[in-house]
Amino acid sequence: MKKLVKILLWIAGVIGVLLLAFNFILWPIMQNQTKKGSPEKNVAYSKGDMKLNLFYCSPAKKDREIFGGLVPYDEVWRTGANEASTFTTNKDLMIAGQPLPAGKYTLWTIPNKTSWEVIFNNKMYGWGVKLTDQKATRDPEADVLVVQGKVSKSLNVVEDFSITLTVSSPETTIMMFAWDNVVVPLEIRQQ
């Protein structure tokens, strides 16, 4: 009996060491390798006392069909690569005419040919997709705001996915999603 207990403890110890090695050595290496092709982007924006921050990973087109191909239509997309993208605001906002309270949100989209659903979700996720089936990890019950953004064609092909924030007027900021030949603007106003 004592020998069986020793063997089980030894096996548990080996499993524990392997799990620690994965979490602290292998997982960071895997994340770093995936980010070479989709580097992290941080967009900090301020206008008066309003401060916005976007975090996302920017994949490249690489001669691929993007929308309707790599990013399927009518399915939730993590809006970038790797971790779920995030949007942070220190002020209550109106986005596409709908209210969004101050806070930090994960940012999801459901692209289709003529419009995108842009989703602000108050749950934070470790990774943007499940490793088993590559489906988005978003929990729809945590959605705080879902708005529509109209798709426009870009004048030039955008090689790297981007989300930008620019001043449109003294009251309005535009958040622009751009990749391949698609751009989707959303109007942001402080409440």
Question: How many other CB atoms are there within 10 angstroms of residue 79's CB atom?
Answer: 28
**For the segment 154-171, what is each residue's pLDDT rounded down to a tens digit?**
999 999 999 999 998 999
Buried b (16+ CB within 10 A) or exposed e, 34-63: eeeebeebeeebebeebebbbbbbbbebee
Q: Which helix (H) or strand (E) holds 24?
A: none
**Chain-centre distance of CA 61, in angstroms?**
17
Q: How far is CA 132 from CA 7, 29, 129, 135, in A?
A: 32, 19, 9, 8
79, amino acid identity: T
CA–CA gap between residue 109 and residue 7 (Å, rounded): 50
* Average pLDDT rounded to a whole number, residues 65-79: 95
Q: What is the pLDDT of residue 135?
A: 80
Kindly state the DSSP code that residue 83 receives in the 8-state scheme.
S
| Confidence category of residue 8, pLDDT binned at 50, 70, 90 | confident
Tens of pLDDT along 74-126? 999 999 998 899 999 999 999 999 999 999 999 999 999 999 999 999 999 87
The per-residue pLDDT for 57 is 95
Residue 89's nearest CA partner among 116, 56, 55 is 55
At 36, the pLDDT band (50, 70, 90 cuts) reads low
Give the pLDDT score at 4. 77
* Contact (CB, 8 A) for 123 and 151: no
pTM of this structure: 0.80
Cβ pair 51, 90 in contact under 8 A: yes
Say how far apart CA 99 and CA 166 lie, in whole Å: 19
In this predicted structure, the answer to whether residue 29 has a pLDDT above a threshold of 60 is no
Give me the chain's average pLDDT, please: 89
Band (pLDDT 50/70/90 cuts) for residue 70 is very high
Q: What is the mean pLDDT of residues 5-20?
A: 74
Q: Answer positive or negative: Cα dihedral of 190, 168, 44, 83.
A: positive
From residue 164, alpha-carbon distances to 54, 74, 178, 179 in Å are 9, 23, 8, 11
